[in-house]
C-alpha cells in the first residue's frame, strides 16, 4: 500500500462558511466490524506527557483519545472536559495500546502521525564526521519539537462545524481553508461520524492552515447549473440533472482539489494489527515540488478499504526539514556528498541546516575550518 484509497466513499456537494469549505464523504454501507468512540482525559490547559516506553517521552496537548472496538458493542461518546485540575500524565505507555484480553485499541488521534514525523531520522548522524558535534551523535535530534494549532484557534472553524449539515450516511469529510486542503477525516460508521464531528475543533492543524484562515478571503459556495431548462420537463428529468451535477462536482473535486492527497505515494508503517484491521501511520516523500503534503494515520480492512483516516497538512518549513533529513540520511550524513546530491555548495548546505533549526548539531569550528580550506584551495 502506497496511496490512500477512499473507494466506497462518495463525495457530496460542499458546504461553505466564510473561508471554510467542508466536503462530506458518504458511504452506501458502513465498514462492518469496527467502531470508533472517544475516551476523555481529565486535564488542565497544560500539556500532558506520554511515556513512549523506551526512555523517551512525548509531550503535547491531548484533548481526547480514540478507542477502536472490533469485537463488542460500540461505546457512547461525550464531550471532553477542560477544568482547573493539575496536569496529569496520560496513563498509556505507548501512543497506541490494546486493552489486555479485549478487542479494543486506544490511540491518540493524529499523535501517531506527528510522532512518526518527529521520529524521522531522530538518531541523527550514524558516523562522527568532523562537522558534527559529539552531542549530535550521542543524542541525535533530541529534543525535537513542532508547532501546531488547536482547531478552535483556526478562525471560522468552530462556527462552520456548528452550522454544517451532516448528511445521511456521512462517514467523513475533507476540510478546506481558503480552498487549501487542511485535513481529511474518515470513520467506519455514520453514527461514529455524527458523534465525532464536533471533535474537529480539538484536532491539530498546521501553521499554513492557521495563516490561510486568518488572511484568506471567503470562498465560493457550490452551485449547480442545470442549464436553461431545455430537456427538463418533469421531476424525473430534474432529478437526473441534479444527479449529473453532483457527479460532475465529485469528479472535479477528486481530480483537482484532492489530487495531491490521493495521488501522492506515501511510506506506510504498520503500528498495530487488530482482527482483520490494520492501523498505519504514513509519511509523504518530502519532495520539493510545491505540492501539498500530509502526514496521517489510517485503519484499513482486509480488502484494503479505508475505515479510518486522519491527516495533518505540513507547512513548507516542515516539508523542507523532512526533505533535508531524508537527503542527509541517504548520504550517511556526509555534508560534502549531501551538498553534491542537492546540487548546492557546502556553505549553502550548512546555511540550510542552520535555517532548518539543526544548527546546534554542527561543530562550528570544524565547519569554519572546512570552509576556510575550500576557499584557500
Torsion of CA 293, 298, 301, 304, to 10 degrees: 10
* 270, 280 contact by CB (below 8 A): yes
User: Average pLDDT, whole number, for the chain?
Assistant: 81
Write phi, then psi, for 242 (nearest 5 degrees): -65, -40
Q: Where do we find the cell 450516511?
A: 169
The whole-angstrom separation of Cα 5 and Cα 320 is 26
Tell me the backbone φ, ψ of residue 32, rounded to 5 degrees: -75, 145
Nearest residue to 76 (alpha-carbon basis) of 204, 169, 200, 194:
194
pLDDT in tens, 44-60: 444 556 555 556 666 66
- pLDDT (tens digit, 9 = 90+) per residue, 199-241? 888 888 988 898 989 888 888 876 666 656 567 778 888 888 8
So what's the pLDDT on residue 76? 32
Q: What's the predicted TM-score (pTM) here?
A: 0.80
Q: pLDDT tens digit string along 160-209?
A: 999 999 999 999 999 999 999 999 999 999 999 998 898 888 888 988 89
CB neighbourhood size of 94 (10 A): 19
Annotate 198-254 with DSSP letters as a single string.
GGGGGSEE-HHHHHHHHHPPP-PPP----TTSTT--SHHHHHHHHHHHHHHHHHHII
Rounded Cα–Cα distance for residues 41 and 81 (Å): 7
pLDDT band at 297 (very low <50, low <70, confident <90, very high): very high
Amino acid at each position: 500500500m502506497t496511496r490512500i484509497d477512499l473507494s466506497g466513499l462518495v463525495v457530496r456537494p460542499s458546504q461553505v462558511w466564510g473561508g471554510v469549505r467542508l466536503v462530506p464523504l458518504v458511504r452506501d454501507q458502513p465498514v462492518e466490524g469496527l467502531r470508533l468512540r472517544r475516551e476523555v482525559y481529565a486535564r488542565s490547559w497544560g500539556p500532558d506527557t506520554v511515556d513512549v516506553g523506551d526512555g523517551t517521552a512525548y509531550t503535547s496537548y491531548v484533548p481526547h483519545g480514540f478507542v477502536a472496538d472490533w469485537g463488542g458493542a460500540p461505546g457512547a461518546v461525550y464531550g471532553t472536559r477542560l477544568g482547573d485540575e493539575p496536569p496529569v500524565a496520560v496513563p498509556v505507555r505507548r501512543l497506541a495500546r490494546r486493552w489486555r484480553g479485549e478487542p479494543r485499541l486506544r490511540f491518540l488521534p493524529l499523535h501517531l502521525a506527528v510522532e512518526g514525523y518527529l521520529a524521522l531520522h531522530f538518531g541523527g548522524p550514524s558516523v562522527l564526521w568532523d562537522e558534527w558535534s559529539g552531542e549530535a551523535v550521542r543524542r541525535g535530534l533530541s529534543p525535537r519539537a513542532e508547532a501546531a494549532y488547536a482547531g478552535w484557534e483556526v478562525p471560522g472553524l468552530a462556527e462552520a462545524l456548528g452550522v454544517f449539515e451532516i448528511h445521511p450516511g456521512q462517514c467523513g469529510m475533507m476540510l478546506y481553508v481558503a480552498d487549501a486542503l487542511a485535513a481529511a477525516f474518515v470513520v467506519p460508521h455514520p453514527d461514529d461520524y455524527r458523534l465525532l464531528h464536533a471533535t474537529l475543533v480539538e484536532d491539530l492543524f498546521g501553521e499554513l492552515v492557521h495563516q490561510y484562515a486568518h488572511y484568506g478571503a471567503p470562498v465560493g459556495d457550490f452551485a449547480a447549473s442545470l442549464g436553461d431548462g431545455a430537456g427538463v420537463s418533469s421531476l424525473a428529468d430534474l432529478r437526473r440533472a441534479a444527479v449529473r451535477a453532483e457527479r460532475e462536482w465529485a469528479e472535479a473535486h477528486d481530480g483537482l482539489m484532492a489530487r495531491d492527497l490521493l495521488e501522492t505515494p506515501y511510506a506506510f508503517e504498520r503500528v498495530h494489527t487488530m482482527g482483520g484491521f490494520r492501523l498505519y501511520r504514513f509519511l509523504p516523500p518530502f519532495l520539493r515540488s510545491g505540492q501539498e503534503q500530509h502526514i496521517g494515520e489510517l485503519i484499513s480492512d482486509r480488502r484494503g478499504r479505508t475505515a479510518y483516516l486522519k491527516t495533518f497538512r505540513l507547512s513548507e518549513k516542515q516539508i523542507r526539514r523532512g526533505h533535508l533529513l531524508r537527503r542527509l540520511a541517504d548520504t550517511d550524513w556526509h555534508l560534502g556528498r549531501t551538498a553534491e546530491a542537492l546540487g548546492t555548495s557546502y556553505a549553502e548546505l550548512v546555511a540550510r541546516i542552520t535555517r532548518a533549526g539543526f544548527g546546534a548539531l554542527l561543530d562550528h569550528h570544524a565547519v569554519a575550518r572546512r570552509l576556510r580550506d575550500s576557499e584557500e584551495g
